Structure 1
Amino acid sequence: MNPVLALGQIVVSIFLIIAILMQSRGIGLSSAFGGDSSVYRSRRGVERQLLRFTVALIILFVGFSVLGYLQTN
């Protein structure tokens, strides 16, 4: 794997971990099965931007992984 791709993947993964940890508690599956009333509320403002940022980081991470795989083959 190209060292630039490896470094990019490491940096993206660190930011991805931080973005996931910054998200509000109770958004996941545990609140859906726990009967939490906030299941139906919409995400606004910072929560929405953080969600979009997290999705963008996931796409970047997968992209770096695919590029690294294609370079080795």
Structure 2
Amino acid sequence: MNVFLSIAQILLGVALIAGVLLQSKGEELGGVFGGAQGVYQTRRGLDRVLFTITIFIAIAFFALALINVIFFSANQ
């Protein structure tokens, strides 16, 4: 069970990193590392879907991290 939770958390972490990096596709390389965007744009279509999926992955990652902490501390 511990191995499954750890692997799931690693996979969610990689998916979260990929989701965040894919959202900066319209910007230059400086936008990936925190460059400011001058114009506010609303998210439409695929951008909105990717944004929503990234939020759900982040929530799942956080919940799994809490479960891991609770589960590992209970086994010690």
TM range (shorter): 0.7 to 0.9
Q: Normalised by the size of structure 1, how large is the TM-score?
A: 0.79
Structure 1 residue 29: Cα displacement: 7.0
Query: What is the TM-score with the length of structure 2 in the denominator?
Result: 0.76
Match of 2:65 in 1: 65
Q: Which runs of 5+ in 2 are unaligned?
A: none
Report runs of 4+ in structure 1 exceeding 4 Å deviation: none
TM-superposed CA distance for 1:2, in Å, is 1.1
Which structure's relative contact order is higher, taking Cα pairs within 8 Å and 6+ residues apart? 1
Please tell me the residue identity of whatever aligns with 1:55: I
1:68 CA drift (Å): 0.4
Rounded to whole Å, the distance in 2 between the matches of 1:72 and 1:21 is: 31
Q: What's the RMSD between the two structures over aligned residues?
A: 1.8
Q: How many residues of Structure 1 are paired with residues of Structure 2 in the alignment?
A: 66
Counterpart Cα distance in 1 of 2:23 and 2:63: 23
Over the matched positions of the two proteins, sequence identity in percent amounts to 30
1:23-52 CA-to-partner distances (Å, cap 9, x unmatched) read: 1335x6722xxxx1x21x211001100000
